[in-house]
Amino acid sequence: DAGITQSPRHKVTETGTPVTLRCHQTENHRYMYWYRQDPGHGLRLIHYSYGVKDTDKGEVSDGYSVSRSKTEDFLLTLESATSSQTSVYFCAISAFPRDRTDTQYFGPGTRLTVL
């Protein structure tokens, strides 16, 4: 299994509070991704990173920001959480461009509940 951990694994917070989720990898891969998973929507890309300090938006980036100060860590921040951000969040990594197929490997997920 790819060395990916996510923390916390579960979090309950209140509307309007800031939340930061952490993804940590031990594979030294350049690309990292944040997805959210909701019933009926599959996985949707929030943001991704293609290197330290290099990030870009995905299809559902509103209300989220990311940072990557080290190769191994990719942080997802909800500046002011809303109930619509209740979801399961997955981090993924890929060895692109060494692996040109961009095969992605996923972490265990973080279940976030915003009350």
DSSP-assigned beta bridge partners for residue 105: 93
Contact segment (CB under 8 A) with other proteins among 14-22, 61-69, 72-80, 96-104 equals: 96-104
Q: Which of 46, 64, 107, 114 binds other proteins (CB under 8 A)?
A: 107
Interatomic CA distance for residues 89 and 4, integer angstroms: 13
> Binders of other proteins among 13-72, rule CB under 8 A?
31, 40-45, 48, 50, 58
- Binding of other proteins at residue 108 (CB under 8 A)? yes
Which is closer to other proteins, CB of 19 or CB of 31? 31
Task: Write out the two tokens for 54.
Answer: 């290099």
> Alpha-carbon distance 94 to 105, whole Å?
6
Residues of this chain that interact with other proteins (CB under 8 A) are 31, 40-45, 48, 50, 58, 90, 92, 94, 96, 100-109
